[in-house]
Amino acid sequence: MKFNFQDFLLKEQQKPYYQLLMLKLSSTEYLPSKENWFFALEDFDFDNLNVVILGQDPYHTKGVAHGLAFSSLATNTPPSLRNIFDCIKKDYPKTVFASNNLTNWKNQGVLLLNPILTVSPSKPLSHKNLGWETFSLNLLKTLVNQYSNIIFVILGKNSLDFLSSIDLKNQITLKTSHPSPFSAHLGFNDSHIFKKINQYLIKLNKKPIDWSTK
């Protein structure tokens, strides 16, 4: 049965943790705007779910975050995304990054999910433990129960810890360090992880991802 995000959201909205989360958010400023909270999930073709790439929380500068992990509406490329682009270029040197907007990846079945979906301006991780982690865990547990051979890209210890309660035995996992300037040199920069994703997709008789941006 195809996963329906709106049905899932409706069920979560009726749970006490979610109602408490909304109450907390009602009295604080947050990014991105409410209409972009679920941009990674809305209009996503879950029957074509190929890859899950976990971020952490949204960019905390106004006008940057729009609901896709690592993706940016700004013209200046954020440091982590710059390292991602550089990693891709090592294996796909002709890739064109026309913008920092990763919607083209989403449209090919790449779920770019920040487990924490909001943040206070200029305060990274300010919405940690508000309740979004419960929402994201419930989402991912539902997806792994319905689909197999999803490629989970686990970037750094935070993502590894976050996924520790999820049974990934029927999925594919690729692990490396986070692309942040503080940790990219610990494995990410030479991981060839985007090439590895495509190699797995080809083995699964699926179309490889075009990593360019528009």
Q: What is the pLDDT of residues 82-137, one digit of tens each?
A: 999 999 999 999 999 999 999 999 999 999 999 999 999 999 999 999 999 999 99
pTM, rounded to two decimals: 0.97
pLDDT tens for each residue of 146-171? 999 999 999 999 999 999 999 999 99
Per DSSP, the three-state class of 111 is strand
Q: Name the one residue in this structure whose structure tokens are 């920040």.
A: 114
Q: Is residue 137 part of a domain?
A: yes
| 57 flagged as catalytic | yes
Q: Is residue 210 part of a domain?
A: no
Q: How far apart are CA 28 and CA 6, in angstroms?
A: 25
Q: Which listed residue (43, 45, 47, 57) is catalytic?
A: 57
Q: Which of 143, 136, 138, 142 is nearest to 118 (CA)?
A: 136
Q: How far apart are CA 199 and CA 203, in angstroms?
A: 6
Residue 25 CB neighbours (<10 A): 19
Per DSSP, the three-state class of 33 is coil
pLDDT tens for each residue of 67-84? 999 999 999 999 999 999
Residue 29 CB neighbours (<10 A): 13
Which CATH number belongs to the domain containing residue 54 in this structure? 3.40.470.10
For the chain, the helix, strand and coil percentages under 3-state DSSP, each to the nearest 5: 40, 10, 50
Q: Is residue 45 part of a domain?
A: yes
Domain span holding position 65: 5-203
Q: Is residue 211 part of a domain?
A: no
Given pLDDT bands bounded at 50, 70 and 90, which one contains residue 2?
A: confident
Q: Is residue 208 part of a domain?
A: no
Q: Is residue 105 part of a domain?
A: yes
Counted domains in the chain:
1
Q: How far apart are CA 66 and CA 89, in angstroms?
A: 24
Q: Is residue 209 part of a domain?
A: no
211 and 60 Cβ atoms separated by less than 8 Å: no
Q: How far apart are CA 141 and CA 144, in angstroms?
A: 5
Q: Is residue 212 part of a domain?
A: no
Mean pLDDT to the nearest integer, 31-46:
98
